Chains A and B, each alone.
Chain A
Amino acid sequence: MRMAKYILKRVLLMFCVLFIITTIYFILIRLLPRELPLEKVQAEAIKARWEALGYGKPLLVQYWIYLKNIFTKWDFGTSWYISYRTPALELMTTRLAPTVLVNFYSMIFSVPIGIALGIYAAIKKNKWQDSLISVLVIVFVSVPGYVYAFLVQYFLYFKLNLLPLQMYALADAGGSYFTWKMFKSMIAPILALSFGTIASLCRNTRAELTESLTSDYMLLARTKGLTNTQATWRHALKNAMVPIFPGIISMFFGVLGGSMIIEQIFSIPGVGQLYIRSINLFDYDVYMLDGIFYTLLGLIAGIFVDLSYGIIDPRIRMGE
């Protein structure tokens, strides 16, 4: 009950913060100089639209119109350059699927491996296996994601020719993101995204499990006659996993927001690529919506991080 109350409070707070940040974005983006395209028909259309949105009026009025459009018509603005006259929200939602899919697959792939390696390292603590895993973890956490992307491309495409170089366009792969051909073309970005996740998950699991392995209840479990394996499985692991799971969810949101460069390299038609294009083409409405999206992701990830801490330490859970 307390938990539910806390979460509710956090979610409400999250929307407050989101509102403030949206306001900041809005002001900063509306202050940017805007130019009409040279083509006349297009320029007229954009100009008419601008008038409807209250350009030239005070910023507060403009913001009011913007918010009103969002809440009454669910209208986040229009894309003019990336995809002419497509509502920004529609553009965004079509781009959401590939990003979420690739990241989701990557999570499915890396979570079991990361946790398994972490458990192994914690059980073999201070032996050579643990040292080896620790060294690998340091290396894999430190090396930037795009280096893995290059390595995956180099070995799996150029040397072994197992996978396609980049993700297929929707039309090439049978019009759906769930065909085998599409999945095969996603393997390379999935792998590239996974290395970092595996390494950091392994590190967290190891840290949590070592702590619970050395705690007093483990001693009690051993004294009452459980074997080492039984005690580890039933007590230590259970307790260690409690903060890990919210951590995984927050990691998923974090990766979702940070996979921009992977999307660029593998030409995944996702949200990150949309963001880069909207910057380069000055498609401000799309840019704004994408920025709000990333902020929301970060906020949700933050709630899950706090939950993962709160579960360990009930004093924090109260939110005081």
Chain B
Amino acid sequence: MEEKNLMLEQIPAEKFRFVNQDERIHDKKFDDKPIGYFKDAWLRFKKSKASVVAAVIIILIVLYAFCCPLLIRSHSATFMANLYAKKPGRITWIKDLGLGIADGGTKRNFSERGLQSKLAIGVGAENYDGKHNVTVSEAMDSEYMPMIRYKEAGDGYTGKIDTYLEVGFIYRSVEQAEYKKIRDWEEETGLRVIYPLIADNEYSYSFDMTDANFWYKVDAKGSPIKVNSNGEAKRIRMSDDMVFEDNYLRDDSGNVLYYVYAGGGDQNTAQYKIRVLYYNYFQYLYGHEPEYILGTDAQGYDMALRLAGGIKLSLEISIAVASINFIIGTLYGAVEGYYGGTVDLIMERISDILWDIPFIVLASLFQIHLAAKVGPIPSLLFVYILTGWIGTAATVRTQFYRFKNQEYVMAAHTLGARDRRIIWKHIYPNTLGTIITASALAIPSVIYQESNLSYLGIVKLGSSRVTSLGTLLSDSSSIWTNYPHLMILPALTISLLMICFNLFGNGLRDAFNPALRGTED
């Protein structure tokens, strides 16, 4: 240390020179751009990692909500007959990879008879003319075999079943022209839609004659049987090389029949009963395989689209509410805070009373009064117009009280500025940060309230066009134990939305009011 000092003393004089001798360093312009209020807030916001991540997730969710309807192949009105309702997700090419995801499958336990009836669908799809008697193990390779895998477990069997193929065969009633059209389509694509009809005799399934899946001979309980030439029936036990004995409707010469006359008048209107493989019939109707990446909801709509619609609705409502809060809250709070005195007293009492009316009571009253006239969503927005802005107004009022007696405001007064100018030009910008924060934090609470109200059925939002996440949840509330994805997906979406918006709002608050950091309420 001392040595260093010594060194410093020994620096020769000529090495020194005057700095800035020729320059004027005062009044020099800054090289950097000045950091304004918003820039400063942005710099602080960027530092909070959680908020940035939340903001990114929010952007992704918004993108999903708006892009999903464009990306997903949607058939007309995105609605299918409810045979494919409540199904888990299925994409054919992912299923073919055999990874066990997006295969429309659920794990289930089967009795011997139950397993046989499911296997029979796959076998029946191969036995399309009554001549292809394939074994179960051969039919396992069929693309229409609903059983993905199965094994013995305890008394019965356990396995994974493709719930789309499980629908199997159904009866349809068609006109002649339609029948021809299906036949032409079959020829064109090579896919088989129409299958032989089932005979109505002692071997058919007597519990439900509309069930088109029992194409094989069964006993009274529905177990497959084999009938020998004496007419004795013997139950077929489950094995890999078991063969079902078909019970198709045949004409006198032994050929299977594909349609029978079912009623109706002349050649054009006559109805014919046919038996179709629903999976291929769906393709005939809509031109593609049933593919729903997230499955279908309780009514049969595409879950991915319904979720996107729900998110969109939630966001639209909450952004509308945030803007309402912003506008009314600012005006009300500014007038209260700036004028003070009697005006403030009266306006405060009014907002106090409005504040004390519970939200749910007000929302239900407005729904009963207005929903029939202007629709559920506008009546919900009316509630927010009436009470939603009170919190914002209170913040703005406090800020105005803080700033209105400061010297610079007095200076503006003295210079002759009008009230309006002082409010908007001189005081209002100080409150902007708090208002933005309040509006951002309003979004999650609105999403929560909206889902709550639609879950309880106070706001009835469910229709074929719009839906809300709360409605999706309440639709599934009594059945979700059998179809967990009906509950998990909307619940997950809404939780994610709430968490992200809360984190984002907290980040904004910390960025705009660093003094409040850590005091969370």
**Interface, chain A (partner B; CB < 8 A):** 17, 20-21, 24-25, 28-29, 31-32, 138-139, 141-144, 146-147, 150, 153-154, 158, 203-204, 207, 210, 257, 260-261, 264-265, 275-276, 279-280, 282, 287, 291, 294-295, 297-299, 302
* In the assembled complex, B452 has its CB within 8 A of some CB on chain A: yes
- For B358, give its contact among A24, A143, A210, A295 (CB under 8 Å): A295
With A261-B455, A302-B356 as contacts: A210 and B369 at CB distance below 8 Å: no
* In the assembled complex, B401 has its CB within 8 A of some CB on chain A: no
Are A298 and B498 closer than 8 Å at their CB atoms? no
Closest Cβ of chain A: how far from B298's Cβ, in Å?
A: 15
* In the assembled complex, B481 has its CB within 8 A of some CB on chain A: yes
Are B456 and A207 closer than 8 Å at their CB atoms? no
- For B458, give its contact among A29, A147, A257, A276 (CB under 8 Å): A276
* Across-interface contacts of B368 in A (CB, < 8 A): 32, 279, 282
- For B521, give its contact among A207, A264, A265 (CB under 8 Å): A207
Annotate B461-495 by CB proximity to A: 1 below 8 A, 0 otherwise.
00000000000010001001100100100010011
- For A138, give its contact among B455, B458, B480, B502 (CB under 8 Å): B502
* Across-interface contacts of B365 in A (CB, < 8 A): 25, 28-29, 291
Are B353 and A17 closer than 8 Å at their CB atoms? yes
With A138-B503, A210-B518, A276-B456 as contacts: A144 and B352 at CB distance below 8 Å: no
* Across-interface contacts of A24 in B (CB, < 8 A): 357
* Across-interface contacts of B499 in A (CB, < 8 A): 138-139, 142-143
With A141-B502, A142-B495, A294-B361 as contacts: A17 and B356 at CB distance below 8 Å: yes
* In the assembled complex, B146 has its CB within 8 A of some CB on chain A: no
- For A146, give its contact among B361, B455, B458, B506 (CB under 8 Å): B455
* Across-interface contacts of A295 in B (CB, < 8 A): 356-358, 361
* In the assembled complex, B202 has its CB within 8 A of some CB on chain A: no
- For A142, give its contact among B444, B451, B477, B487 (CB under 8 Å): B444
* Across-interface contacts of A260 in B (CB, < 8 A): 360, 456
In the bound complex, how far is the Cα of B358 from the Cα of A278, in angstroms? 16
In the bound complex, how far is the Cα of B349 from the Cα of A20, in angstroms? 11
* Across-interface contacts of A143 in B (CB, < 8 A): 495, 498-499
Are A298 and B358 closer than 8 Å at their CB atoms? yes
With A25-B365, A279-B364 as contacts: A142 and B456 at CB distance below 8 Å: no
**Secondary structure type dominating chain B contacts:** helix
User: What's the interface size class on B, roughly?
Assistant: 35 or more
Are A147 and B495 closer than 8 Å at their CB atoms? yes
Given contacts A203-B521, A287-B364, 5 further A-B contacts (CB under 8 A): A28-B369, A257-B360, A260-B456, A276-B457, A279-B458
* In the assembled complex, B251 has its CB within 8 A of some CB on chain A: no
Residue of B nearest to A302 (CB): B356
Are B352 and A17 closer than 8 Å at their CB atoms? yes
In the bound complex, how far is the Cα of B425 from the Cα of A34, in angstroms? 52
Closest Cβ of chain A: how far from B411's Cβ, in Å?
A: 29
* Across-interface contacts of A294 in B (CB, < 8 A): 358, 360-361
Residue of A nearest to B473 (CB): A146
Are A203 and B520 closer than 8 Å at their CB atoms? yes
Residue pairs across A and B with Cβ atoms less than 8 A apart, 23 shown, are A17-B356, A20-B353, A24-B357, A28-B369, A31-B369, A32-B368, A32-B369, A142-B495, A142-B498, A144-B494, A144-B495, A147-B491, A150-B487, A150-B491, A207-B518, A275-B360, A275-B364, A279-B364, A279-B368, A280-B457, A294-B361, A295-B357, A302-B356
- For B494, give its contact among A147, A158, A276 (CB under 8 Å): A147
The count of A-to-B residue pairs whose CB atoms sit within 8 angstroms is 94
Are A257 and B358 closer than 8 Å at their CB atoms? yes
Closest Cβ of chain A: how far from B274's Cβ, in Å?
A: 41
In the bound complex, how far is the Cα of B352 from the Cα of A295, in angstroms? 13
Annotate B289-301 by CB proximity to A: 1 below 8 A, 0 otherwise.
0000000000000
In the bound complex, how far is the Cα of B520 from the Cα of A144, in angstroms? 18
Closest 4 pairs between A and B when the two form their complex, measured CB to CB:
A142-B498, A142-B499, A291-B361, A294-B358
- For A298, give its contact among B356, B451, B457, B480 (CB under 8 Å): B356
- For B452, give its contact among A25, A144, A257 (CB under 8 Å): A144
Closest Cβ of chain B: how far from A102's Cβ, in Å?
A: 17
Annotate B355-389 by CB proximity to A: 1 below 8 A, 0 otherwise.
01110110011001100000000000000000000
Residue of B nearest to A298 (CB): B358
* In the assembled complex, B405 has its CB within 8 A of some CB on chain A: no
Closest Cβ of chain B: how far from A76's Cβ, in Å?
A: 16
Q: Which of B313-370 contact A (CB under 8 A)?
A: 352-353, 356-358, 360-361, 364-365, 368-369
* In the assembled complex, B448 has its CB within 8 A of some CB on chain A: yes
- For A299, give its contact among B356, B451, B487, B519 (CB under 8 Å): B356
In the bound complex, how far is the Cα of B339 from the Cα of A230, in angstroms? 51
Closest Cβ of chain A: how far from B363's Cβ, in Å?
A: 10
Closest Cβ of chain B: how far from A198's Cβ, in Å?
A: 15
Are A204 and B521 closer than 8 Å at their CB atoms? yes
* Across-interface contacts of A302 in B (CB, < 8 A): 356
- For B498, give its contact among A144, A154, A265, A276 (CB under 8 Å): A144
Are A21 and B520 closer than 8 Å at their CB atoms? no
In the bound complex, how far is the Cα of B452 from the Cα of A264, in angstroms? 11
* Across-interface contacts of B519 in A (CB, < 8 A): 207
Closest Cβ of chain B: how far from A143's Cβ, in Å?
A: 4
Are B484 and A154 closer than 8 Å at their CB atoms? yes
In the bound complex, how far is the Cα of B369 from the Cα of A40, in angstroms? 27
* Across-interface contacts of B481 in A (CB, < 8 A): 153-154, 158
* Across-interface contacts of B506 in A (CB, < 8 A): 138
Are B518 and A21 closer than 8 Å at their CB atoms? no
Closest Cβ of chain A: how far from B149's Cβ, in Å?
A: 23
In the bound complex, how far is the Cα of B456 from the Cα of A280, in angstroms? 10
* Across-interface contacts of A147 in B (CB, < 8 A): 491, 494-495
Residue of A nearest to B503 (CB): A138
* Across-interface contacts of A298 in B (CB, < 8 A): 356, 358
* Across-interface contacts of A139 in B (CB, < 8 A): 499
* Across-interface contacts of B458 in A (CB, < 8 A): 276, 279
With A17-B353, A276-B457, A280-B457 as contacts: A265 and B477 at CB distance below 8 Å: yes
Residue of B nearest to A258 (CB): B360
Closest Cβ of chain A: how far from B223's Cβ, in Å?
A: 30
- For B451, give its contact among A138, A144, A204, A279 (CB under 8 Å): A144
In the bound complex, how far is the Cα of B518 from the Cα of A203, in angstroms? 10
With A17-B353, A24-B357, A207-B518 as contacts: A261 and B495 at CB distance below 8 Å: no
* Across-interface contacts of B356 in A (CB, < 8 A): 17, 21, 295, 298-299, 302
* Across-interface contacts of A279 in B (CB, < 8 A): 364, 368, 458
In the bound complex, how far is the Cα of B358 from the Cα of A32, in angstroms? 20
Q: Which of B217-240 contact A (CB under 8 A)?
A: none
Annotate B47-84 by CB proximity to A: 1 below 8 A, 0 otherwise.
00000000000000000000000000000000000000
* Across-interface contacts of B457 in A (CB, < 8 A): 276, 280
